[in-house]
Amino acid sequence: MVTKNQIKLVVNLKQKKYRTQHGLFVVEGEKSVKELLTAGMRPFQIFVDVPENLERYPKAELVDVRTLKQMSSLKQPNGILGVFQMPKSQEELMTDWTVVLDAVRDPGNLGTIIRLCDWFGIKKMVCSLDTVDCYNPKVLQATMGSIARVSLVYTDLVGYLKNTDLTVLGAFMDGAPVYQKELPEKGILVMGNEANGISKEVGTLVSERISIPQFGEPSTESLNVATATAILLSEIRR
């Protein structure tokens, strides 16, 4: 029997302050929950709405559809809601590329970028403190479980970038065309805010300014940060 306190906890986890306080976050849907379990993430509680699922999941607890709807961030809850423990920050990985985000605000963009890092085998992301929270339900919905394989750290970017010896690439509208660059085996790729790009402060710590050449008419809108990241990660790996 689910208690009122359990329901309240799950509802509270929609807010970042409670996620940080409890060290817990929520994912919904069979696919995402299974991916996190397979990736070794530790479940705190998994709510299911049919008895058959009780045996299929660790720490499973039965709830009725109405309660699940109350807990869910989705308009149409899809039968399984998992509460997971946030992983402890992992050791610094300095042997490969790291993606750094400076104030990316759109949850869909962050989710897509995490999924791209997963696809291209990039295990570490570092986000500015004003980047959208990666345990935000909309981010999790867009990552499709990739969050289990990509480690994210939120920190002050200036401090972080001052302490690295790696090449720091930054995406700027007026950077050098990436197609003509020899990219190193490891390094840091900085992507900026949707409207303003990389901030001035962080920009001074970028060692190479790069851009994706434009072939259309000059009046064209700049690329979205997620599609630009797709192209740059592809360039890094090709």
Residues in the chain, overall count: 238
Complex with a second copy: residue 58 or 177, whichever CB lies closer: 177
Complex with a second copy: residue 58 or 213, whichever CB lies closer: 213
233: helix, coil or strand? Answer: helix
Query: Which residues have CB under 8 Å from 131's CB, separation 6+?
Result: 101, 102, 103, 104, 105, 110, 154
Complex with a second copy: residue 12 or 224, whichever CB lies closer: 224
The answer to whether 118 contacts a second copy (rule: CB under 8 A) is: yes
Q: Work out which of 147, 169, 183, 212 binds a second copy, going by CB under 8 A.
A: 212
The answer to whether 145 contacts a second copy (rule: CB under 8 A) is: yes
Complex with a second copy: residue 67 or 143, whichever CB lies closer: 143
- 83 closest CA partner among 97, 63, 107, 109: 63
Q: 1-15 as b/e, with b when 16 or more CB fall inside 10 Å?
A: ebeeebbebbeebbe
The answer to whether 40 contacts a second copy (rule: CB under 8 A) is: no
| Burial of 142 from C-beta contacts in 10 A (0-12 / 13-18 / 19+) | buried
* Stretch of 119-127, 153-161, 166-174, 193-201 lying at the interface with a second copy (CB under 8 A): 119-127
Complex with a second copy: residue 45 or 211, whichever CB lies closer: 211
* Stretch of 57-65, 98-106, 161-169, 214-222 lying at the interface with a second copy (CB under 8 A): 214-222
**CB distance 147 to 114 below 8 Å:** yes
Alpha-carbon gap, residue 42 to 40, rounded angstroms: 6
The answer to whether 215 contacts a second copy (rule: CB under 8 A) is: yes
Least spacing, CB of residue 35 vs a second copy, in Å: 7
* Stretch of 53-61, 78-86, 112-120, 153-161 lying at the interface with a second copy (CB under 8 A): 112-120
* Stretch of 124-132, 151-159, 166-174, 222-230 lying at the interface with a second copy (CB under 8 A): 222-230
Q: Encode 25-51 in three state secondary structure.
A: EEEECHHHHHHHHHCCCCEEEEEECCH
Q: How many CA atoms lie within 13 A of 145 on its CB side?
A: 14
Alpha-carbon gap, residue 160 to 235, rounded angstroms: 24
The answer to whether 176 contacts a second copy (rule: CB under 8 A) is: no
Q: Which residues bind a second copy (CB under 8 A)?
A: 35, 38, 108, 112, 115-122, 144-146, 149, 179, 212-217, 219-221, 223-224, 226-228, 230-231, 234-235, 237-238
